[in-house]
Structure 1
């Protein structure tokens, strides 16, 4: 094959080849467009090495293989090229080969391209390769390439030097083009239409101001379609993972006229589009998000990182001087994250965990990874694999190994293995990203795919053929001889047993316990049971949103998720109610879905009642009971043990609520308990409450006044005239009484803990104010010598 035109990477080749000869490993840093993807493998092949190149995306595999004239393999497709020394594969295919042949017989060097993108398959493949090199193939050359300059972590991981190629081929001018008016930030999958309109206008501006093709980055297929609709008079190509082969071929070939290429991140670094002189960047990308507690995954729209923005901009300088129009301001750019988060920190790790288990390291602690898997995500993944039968006691089963080699998510592999070749069509449907216009009835989507005529249908048939080849070819049993709709339901239910859902109210309850809602007007809305294939949970929503599902019956639900019968004694609050009660039942369930319930007699309801006491105000707190509790609280605070603390009375239930608690069977029994009488059981046998916290105190007038213990300090509220002659209030357990002196009308006129000081300094002003207002009551000049009284004077003084 003829050598490509000289590119910046050629200057780094001598050092790179020498480094690989000496160290067997190296990290190559080279900005997008420098030629690393196509020049380096051919140079290694010319040196007599058989090279395997791993790319993160299928589109990049085809593009690289086509440019080099070599073979390629992607899932379900293999092409033989003219040069037998180089083969390009996806990282997923590389993982499959490593599981089948750890030594990689016939391969001298492996090049992992675009490692900076931090795809999970690429991180996993590199970890496996490092293990192979250390144990089986010390001669195997490993090369990791990155479009970013920061390669120190990779160098430390591989144990090899960094070789740096020169920078961008041509300079790229940055044009800041933020919207004139503020736009709403992305929310879930939603992108403000005003931003898309602005992006379209920037594309037109760039098209008019610059020469060459325009490459515009958008977050997803939907946004690409909407912007394309606004650019109808231009020659627009739409590039994404679902694009038909003819569109991919057109994008990778030089155009005869100016073009506008609308692309997702697929064109960010691993794909060179010829003819591009201008990049328009929306500044958005899509990242996976996984709700491990509910078993739901989704994509969300995020701001790009600075590193991604730089890689996108570099596409404009591939062949000549260019420009990048960024649809945000320079100030906003400074606030962007330096790098995107790695997929291992965001994604569902079930497939990764199965790969690791097949490799002999189920919890992945021994794998050489740049970032360890999050513990919660790994725990959820291992639990799922146990349910699917792929793991047993932490070790991979024979079934698990077959699932790993199926080349689909372990959930889908379970359905494929259980149902046989007939299920290949449904599993193929679930393994591909469905068209944007696909409805929520998966059975109908299946029928549409069978009718054909679309790019998706062609990919689906290809994947179906592949899956049929890898399934068990044993004759189907009677259970598999069912209608297509039933088969679809069985496949989805087996793959996602926790998403089996039963109608409840206006929506559905999944076996996982998550509520689910169909779109308004859905044709599935009357089904009593659903097997939900695709669902996500919008940000801020308590319910999941059903994207694709199949109607099933209870029999299929039970097939996917065996029922559990258990005795249930709980404190239950019915939906829509605030008050709970004891519920003692024998319940049959599919996960969180209740199938049937019968009353359970003679059950131990004490734990349920204790829960009710903790979560609701069940006890009837009379004034007498509240005052007694306050006195006990004061006694503990003032005197300490053996007076008990009363801040958590439920924890002391054994000491004061027996035998009433043992006799109680339901809420009404608890509500009838005499709380005051029960609380007296907390008084230590060796103590008298009246000695420590007396209920009343006698004042000079002879009245027995109740003490209020509800605050931090005991309070005596008494009419001022009843305390004449009393220069000091008694102490309660050593704590001075706080005296609230009341007017004849019972309103506070003064508060003091030092009566002598009040009579000396404060009484005069109170007397002056009060004697005119209450002339029938005594207001002597010397309160310490006046007789105390509860009554008014018989005549005016």
Structure 2
């Protein structure tokens, strides 16, 4: 029996006529309805004609999360007085509850994408509702773009509704061809805000880390809220780990139940949260409870102010979920949970002054997430660069390039970017392309059962107590009786089935470009408490919900793993693989998923094939293993190296097999360690496998290495005698004041003209010692303008020495090209009226005392004789009485001698 009283209480009913008119007239609409209005439940029922008398239609509702999809379907079925699977059903990864008479089906956006790839026309579907658009999950943005394509090109009668509580309504309206915007009034009750910042400063979040002091403060605010207010408490935290820690600090609450809700929570717990409780409850939740779900009995919200969003560490090629400050829009959504059923209160664990500095909206996932799954979706759709897709934000070029590198290397796309048959198979697996590749190729190597087991292990973060050794974690999952093990077994069954559906023979690339990624999450920012750091947070699976590990922004240049590269057709696992045991199977499948994360022990740390260095924690069973295949890694605060969070011991054979496209062997001549090094090197990416010294290296390669050495260490590696240094300085002076045809002798110019002045000496050199024997001065002489005849004027324009009035020939210092300097004893310049000039530039005269110390500096001798000499004479005459100190130096006789010698 339909519960009309509950339906009539939903405020969105007043907006239904306008929504129906919009869809009838335009075919698309943007529905903006605050939380609690019934947009997720009443609107689909009305559009399907199950209530309200509209024509019967088949409606698909897309939700970003499994828990929301199941809850929405069950709520709609309850409103109709039915069980889920009758008029209303749902489909999520690994679970389908739909009957013959189902008219409303709630699916995750990942499932919707999979259906669109199988049937672009969505045959039999009349209306699609994209719920919670404001969250800007990548799958939802992609589904909206695909659906608009379908409506424009194939099915103009298909009706589309973008529904959200808080969103860029005009942006979505423009995206859907100028769709009308329909707004519903809110049903929420007033919510009081209590600002509850920590008494002492806490460290800001970094990576996955949250300051324990903040979590302790959140627990104390929950206790305060229980004491001050009535009703259940809903507390928002960024991830599963933080939920567990706060739950541990809430012990001893007496008759209060503490529930933990996230996408990985057991179904029984999720159901319990969504049903009224017999006792007072504290519900600790991730962002899954921000929207779509109504938790009955909640009158109080405690908001930690944190969320999880995907990020990519471009420098290290590691992608992960990062803890960030929640946006203002998320804060409003969270606060609204307290006012669904009655007036409520929100305790915000930050200062009111900080609120205005928070971002307005969460970062769109397309801007920050790994885009490998998105790029494969676009390629399978027929738009490889996604340039024609109707997207609110275009995908970043760098992230798309990295995604294409990965897809090319695993044979998912061809050189033009079009999806291959292998790519289409990968898209049907409901996995990130990396894990799809590992499942397909791993099945051929170790058998479908073991491959499915390992890929299921990589698809979701295992409990921390399983440890960082993935082979041991697999054994724990097999024998475990916890909720994770149950989900793992269900996923193994699913993967075994989809792997079989994709066909028998597997042929594909053995390498992968790009880096990153560990276990993914069901959805984007903040979803499911976040993957273990280093995991691909962000885009969900290609055709399902679960994001596989992310590929990072760095592609591995030159990877040879295009379509079919390093491939071979195989039927069934090899004998070696079957006999290798769990360690071998886990290692091979992990390495197939993350070939650039295969790592070899190098000193005290591990060097990955990608070039990233990583460390294994003290006490780990993985420590000191010669080789590892790393699935999950993060970067600790203040550390230059990554930290291994999940890996398995492998051998060099597995490394070579899995990352074969990155295997390279070549002659290498380079400048290293201060000299020319010539060797034959076999490399797996950045990891050197073998080195052999070459005695007779190619002369051209040696020359290039020597030039590189000169660039690194400077031209000082040559032999610079005093005359050579002087010549270079003289040439620099003439170049500065005369210009052409005098040569530029700066480092950059000399490097550019090395063929003109350093040959043939450079061609004969083989090592650093040979460079040190090259006379730089003689070589520089080749650059003088001999052809024009100007070379002979060098001594005129910039002589090494000039004759002073005393008859001495004094060296000129050209160290500063702007002004040459002449250092000479003052008495030797008597009688000279004007300062010397070179190339038209007055020489700076540094007049020295009889002891050779500077007494005065001038570029205008006449002025000095008139004004400056008197003071110098008064100061020095008494100190050096044997030297002449005439009253009129401009007319006095210059001399190198003392008065005593002059008298003799």
Deviation per CA, 1:233-280: give whole Å up to 9, x if none.
232111112111111011111111111111111111232211111111
Residue in structure 2 matching 1:28, options 28, 31, 36: 31
User: Are positions 1:214 and 2:233 aligned together?
Assistant: yes
| CA distance in structure 1 between the partners assigned to 2:157 and 2:859 by the alignment | 90
How far apart are 1:665 and its partner, in Å? 1.0
Deviation per CA, 1:20-43: give whole Å up to 9, x if none.
111110011112222211111111
Structural mapping, 1:617-636, within 5 Å? 617=714, 618-636=717-735
User: Are positions 1:55 and 2:56 aligned together?
Assistant: no
Deviation per CA, 1:497-543: give whole Å up to 9, x if none.
11111111111111111111111111111211111111223355432
Q: Secondary structure at the match of 2:103?
A: strand
Contact 2:61–2:105, Cα closer than 8 Å, also in 1: yes
Deviation per CA, 1:377-435: give whole Å up to 9, x if none.
00000000011110111221101100010000101111111122221111111111222
Residue in structure 1 matching 2:419, options 392, 396, 405: 396
What residue in structure 2 maps to residue 68 of structure 1?
Answer: 76
Q: Secondary structure at the match of 2:727?
A: helix
Residue in structure 1 matching 2:19, options 16, 25, 35: 16
User: Are positions 1:606 and 2:634 aligned together?
Assistant: no
More displaced 10-residue stretch of structure 1: 332-341 or 414-423: 414-423
Contact 2:221–2:302, Cα closer than 8 Å, also in 1: yes
Deviation per CA, 1:417-471: give whole Å up to 9, x if none.
1122221111111111222333110011110000020100011111111111111
Deviation per CA, 1:271-293: give whole Å up to 9, x if none.
22111111111111111111356
| CA distance in structure 2 between the partners assigned to 1:323 and 1:555 by the alignment | 61
Name the structure, 1 or 2, with higher relative contact order (CA <8 Å, separation 6+): 2
Structural mapping, 1:161-172, within 5 Å? 161-172=180-191
Residue in structure 1 matching 2:147, options 126, 129, 139: 129
What residue in structure 1 maps to residue 430 of structure 2?
Answer: 407
| CA distance in structure 2 between the partners assigned to 1:324 and 1:613 by the alignment | 66
How far apart are 1:481 and its partner, in Å? 2.2
What residue in structure 2 maps to residue 373 of structure 1?
Answer: 395
What residue in structure 2 maps to residue 656 of structure 1?
Answer: 757
User: Are positions 1:501 and 2:599 aligned together?
Assistant: yes
Contact 1:108–1:141, Cα closer than 8 Å, also in 2: yes
Q: Secondary structure at the match of 1:471?
A: helix
How far apart are 1:83 and its partner, in Å? 6.5
What residue in structure 1 maps to residue 654 of structure 2?
Answer: 556
User: Are positions 1:117 and 2:211 aligned together?
Assistant: no
| CA distance in structure 2 between the partners assigned to 1:436 and 1:675 by the alignment | 64
How far apart are 1:189 and its partner, in Å? 1.4
| CA distance in structure 2 between the partners assigned to 1:162 and 1:146 by the alignment | 11
Deviation per CA, 1:535-594: give whole Å up to 9, x if none.
223355432211111111111111112264443434343xxxxx4221222221111111
What residue in structure 2 maps to residue 91 of structure 1?
Answer: 109
Residue in structure 2 matching 1:672, options 741, 756, 773: 773
| CA distance in structure 2 between the partners assigned to 1:82 and 1:184 by the alignment | 55
Residue in structure 1 matching 2:479, options 451, 455, 460: 451
Contact 1:71–1:82, Cα closer than 8 Å, also in 2: no
More displaced 10-residue stretch of structure 1: 206-215 or 287-296: 287-296
Contact 1:71–1:83, Cα closer than 8 Å, also in 2: no
User: Are positions 1:476 and 2:572 aligned together?
Assistant: yes
User: Are positions 1:274 and 2:296 aligned together?
Assistant: yes
What residue in structure 1 maps to residue 43 of structure 2?
Answer: 40
Residue in structure 2 matching 1:698, options 803, 808, 831: 803
| CA distance in structure 2 between the partners assigned to 1:167 and 1:644 by the alignment | 79
Alpha-carbon distance change, 645 to 539 in structure 1, aligned in 2, over 3 angstroms: farther
Contact 1:569–1:582, Cα closer than 8 Å, also in 2: no
Residue in structure 1 matching 2:252, options 212, 220, 233: 233
| CA distance in structure 1 between the partners assigned to 2:623 and 2:341 by the alignment | 55
| CA distance in structure 2 between the partners assigned to 1:599 and 1:774 by the alignment | 68
Structural mapping, 1:564-603, within 5 Å? 564-573=663-672, 579-600=673-694, 601-603=696-698
What residue in structure 1 maps to residue 626 of structure 2?
Answer: 528
Structural mapping, 1:757-796, within 5 Å? 757-794=863-900
Contact 2:669–2:697, Cα closer than 8 Å, also in 1: no
Deviation per CA, 1:346-376: give whole Å up to 9, x if none.
1111111011100011111111111111100
Alpha-carbon distance change, 570 to 287 in structure 1, aligned in 2, over 3 angstroms: farther
| CA distance in structure 1 between the partners assigned to 2:145 and 2:667 by the alignment | 47
How far apart are 1:294 and its partner, in Å? 4.2
| CA distance in structure 1 between the partners assigned to 2:167 and 2:262 by the alignment | 27
Alpha-carbon distance change, 659 to 795 in structure 1, aligned in 2, over 3 angstroms: closer
How far apart are 1:654 and its partner, in Å? 1.1
| CA distance in structure 2 between the partners assigned to 1:120 and 1:346 by the alignment | 10
Contact 1:569–1:608, Cα closer than 8 Å, also in 2: no
User: Are positions 1:243 and 2:269 aligned together?
Assistant: no
TM-score, normalised relative to structure 1? 0.97
Q: Secondary structure at the match of 1:367?
A: coil
How far apart are 1:133 and its partner, in Å? 0.6
| CA distance in structure 1 between the partners assigned to 2:727 and 2:466 by the alignment | 68
Q: Secondary structure at the match of 1:448?
A: helix
Q: Secondary structure at the match of 1:391?
A: coil
What residue in structure 1 maps to residue 740 of structure 2?
Answer: 641
Residue segments in structure 2 that go unaligned for 5+ positions in a row: 78-87, 505-570
Q: Secondary structure at the match of 1:36?
A: coil
| CA distance in structure 2 between the partners assigned to 1:76 and 1:640 by the alignment | 78
Contact 2:130–2:161, Cα closer than 8 Å, also in 1: yes
Structural mapping, 1:283-432, within 5 Å? 283-292=305-314, 294-393=316-415, 394-420=417-443, 421-422=448-449, 423-432=451-460
What residue in structure 2 maps to residue 545 of structure 1?
Answer: 643
What residue in structure 1 maps to residue 544 of structure 2?
Answer: none
Alpha-carbon distance change, 795 to 602 in structure 1, aligned in 2, over 3 angstroms: closer
Contact 1:406–1:470, Cα closer than 8 Å, also in 2: yes
User: Are positions 1:2 and 2:3 aligned together?
Assistant: yes
Deviation beyond 6 Å, 4+ runs, structure 1: none
How far apart are 1:108 and its partner, in Å? 0.6
How far apart are 1:608 and its partner, in Å? 1.2
TM-score, normalised relative to structure 2? 0.86
| CA distance in structure 2 between the partners assigned to 1:564 and 1:491 by the alignment | 18
How far apart are 1:295 and its partner, in Å? 3.5
What residue in structure 2 maps to residue 576 of structure 1?
Answer: none
Residue in structure 2 matching 1:265, options 280, 284, 287: 287
What residue in structure 2 maps to residue 489 of structure 1?
Answer: 587
Contact 1:350–1:385, Cα closer than 8 Å, also in 2: yes
Q: Secondary structure at the match of 2:810?
A: strand
Deviation per CA, 1:750-793: give whole Å up to 9, x if none.
21111101101111111111112222221110001211112222
Structural mapping, 1:716-735, within 5 Å? 716-735=822-841
How far apart are 1:598 and its partner, in Å? 2.1
Q: Secondary structure at the match of 1:392?
A: coil
How far apart are 1:602 and its partner, in Å? 3.3
How far apart are 1:53 and its partner, in Å? 0.6
Aligned residues: 792
